[in-house]
Amino acid sequence: MNAIGLKNFRNFRELPMLQTNGVAIFVGGNNAGKSTCTMAYRLMAQNLMRIISGAPFDGNDRTFGTHKFNFSPICGDFERALSHYADSNIIDFNIKLGYFDISVKVTADKNTQSMYDNVVSIVIYDTIDNCSWEWNSSDKKNTIFRYSGHTLAQIVRLLNAKGLLDRFSDEQKISIRENILKYEKKKVTYEYKDTYSNPFEFHSCKVILDGEHTDIIPSGINDVNESLEPIGDFKVFQDFFAYIRKDLEKACNPNNIKYIPARGTTLDSYFRINNNDSDSYANDICRFYKLDSYDLKCWIRSMMKELGIGENFDIEKINSDFLYVTITNKNGIKVPLADNGRGAVQLFRLLLLMAMNADMPINFAESQEYGYKRIIIETENEFFPNGKDRILEITKLLIVEEPEQNLHPALQSKLADIFLSLHQEYGVNILVETHSEYLVRRSQVLVAEAKYKDEQELAEKCPFNVYYFPEIGSGKPYDMEFRCDGRFKQDFGDGFYDEADKLAYKIM
């Protein structure tokens, strides 16, 4: 997920789309809405796959037309999630997933005892092929599939896959391309009803082409035209739909988002292996020990050196019950983890969690094929209009909540270097919710040191975005907008950057 917009959710009556590519930093006062945005991301990760697939929450046979939305345990229930400033009883989530734009509207279930609330409508728009699926609960579970002339190119691609295009001359192939472009702007809308199955399986869908569109294929090769009879038959588009569904399911996988909450850290060096607490430090140590990744260990060591909290680390199995963790200092002495101070212990845990979540594949079946960085799916594009490729690039989003807790100001500033390194090394997007002025200042320095030659290069290559969240009622969150020299074009609200200066002025 690389952008989100909200309506009637918690702090916001309306929140415009916020981009979270690269390293996005959310700053602002308490209760200004930073956590609201991170909750929305997590809710969509929790619910989206079920919404798309029609999978039940409780084991019952729920279909696409009876979708439910679960607000627990992230933000309680619908009543708590609905904004006090709402203009209706509907919460609207809008997100960008790769080249998909998705809107999900939710309202309260009439059964007050229900754990799940009702999905009012779903719109999924494929920005590459200009096609969309729209479902509305008030329309008796009917789904509208809309597509534009881009879909015509798929017919030619399917013909190409069957080897039928080899029978055309070069001039005829040029004619096909020209005809595709000619009809590209024409839109054909087709509605179909399916009240018993998930329409994304396309069991009963029939897509009908306007008769005039059949002339994209030059005449004279009868067996090619016969292979398309009937011209509107679903099987002509079957592979096309399969590509879209495959991409959509990958984009909606809940493993695309990982959340690292702010939490206290115990000062221990020995960690029980069979620990049942999934949020405990012991559980994190055990997971990393079992992962046994040389690349991740190297990254963590380099970050430890950058932060000045050690040169190396070891996790040793003492017996069948415990793991023992030591940090090697600059003098080559192995020091028990607990004896390194709370800030260093907390940073070490943060590095472990970031590394493990960055490395985890979207699903394990793809880990060898795609590695841990990104998932890319490509299809042939010889006859695709305007030379556009259908490439799905899903970048993980790692949400980190207040990582500056217990850290010295110098270490707070170096967090920006860690986040940038993780983004560059593993292709992970990072959303940081913070109150640290030092972290933000360091991001400005890193932008300035990049020496972007102009505003265009800055917009294309700058990995940082800083959003300021004003107090409730004082306006909507806004992008601080970097300049090439690292300074911001916009101003922070009162009480953030200017607070230290105000206090210093009072004692002068």
Q: Residue 302 and residue 310: Cα distance in Å, rounded? A: 9
Distance from the Cα of residue 232 to its chain's centroid = 36
Residues 6+ apart with CB under 8 A from 40: 4, 6, 9, 93
Q: Tens of pLDDT along 470-507?
A: 987 778 899 999 999 999 999 988 777 777 677 767 77
Instruction: Report whether pLDDT(365) > 70.
Output: no
Structure tokens at 178: 């020209």
Read off the pLDDT of each residue in 312-324 and give the average, rounded to a whole number: 90
What pLDDT, on the 0 to 100 scale, is given for residue 234? 43
**Predicted TM-score (pTM) above 0.85:** no
pLDDT tens digits for range 443-460: 999 999 999 999 999 999
Mean pLDDT of the chain: 75
Cβ atoms within 10 Å, residue 418 = 24
Domains of the chain: 143-252 (no CATH), 264-396 (3.40.50)
| Per-residue exposure over 43-74, b if at least 16 CB sit within 10 Å of its own CB, e if not | bbbbbbbbbbbbeeeeeeebbbbebbbbbeeb
Q: What is the pLDDT of residue 140?
A: 55
Check residue 146 and give its pLDDT. Answer: 62
pLDDT tens digits, 339-362: 998 889 999 999 999 998 886 543
Beta strands in 48-185 (DSSP E): 68-69, 90-97, 100-107, 117-126, 131-136, 143-148
pLDDT of residue 143: 61
- Write down the residue that tokens 């029939």 correspond to: 206
pLDDT band at residue 110, thresholds of 50, 70 and 90?
A: confident
Task: Tell me which of 172 and 239 has the higher pLDDT.
Answer: 172
Our measurement of the distance from residue 413's CA atom to the centroid of its chain's CA atoms, rounded to an integer in Å, reads: 25
Closest CA to 308 of 176, 442, 153, 415: 415
- pLDDT at residue number 105: 93
